[in-house]
Amino acid sequence: MLFVKKKRQIERILLVEDEPLEAFDTEHLLNGEGFEIVATVDSVADALIAIEGETAIDLVLVDVGLADGSGIEVARAAQRRGVRVLFVTGNCPGEARGLAVGCLSKPYPQRDLLAAIAAVEAVIGGGKPGKLPGSFSLFGED
């Protein structure tokens, strides 16, 4: 019997984080789990360039508080392009539900980030997510 690995719904991730160590750790974790990080940027301006670019993006992980503005701007741009957003922040904004598929509260263990992405993938694939981390709110897909 052959076992075939299920194709991921989320492969290419844009990481928007202005804390260098956190960005590095997250990028390293996700690369190690087989995700492709299309870019790791630390500003709204650079995130908007990446979103508007030619590279396909399946998910944007974005902090809300960025040095040059708000991750809300990034989420709105991603939404216009049909790209899903997961807020990864210490304070989930009130308008997050209308802009993102979920919100993961900082600080969090790395396994919670992986579980949050898996939950988003399950919803995208029409399935039901498993147990959600306590620091994660899944808004679902419309």
Domain boundaries, the chain: 12-138
Give me 71's structure tokens.
């991750």
Rounded to an integer, the average pLDDT of 34-50 is 97
**Is residue 27 over pLDDT 50?**
yes
SS (H, E, C) the chain: CCCCCCCCCCCEEEEECCCHHHHHHHHHHHHHCCCEEEEEECCHHHHHHHHHCCCCCCEEEECCEECCEEHHHHHHHHHHCCCEEEEEECCCCCCHHHHCCEEEECCCCHHHHHHHHHHHHHHHCCCCCCCCCCCEEECCCC
**pLDDT tops 90 at residue 94:** no
Average model confidence (pLDDT) across the chain: 91
Residue 141: per-residue pLDDT: 46
What average pLDDT does the segment 46-72 reach?
Answer: 95
Average pLDDT over residues 80-91: 94
Closest CA to 83 of 129, 50, 42: 50
Fold of 12-138: Rossmann fold (3.40.50)
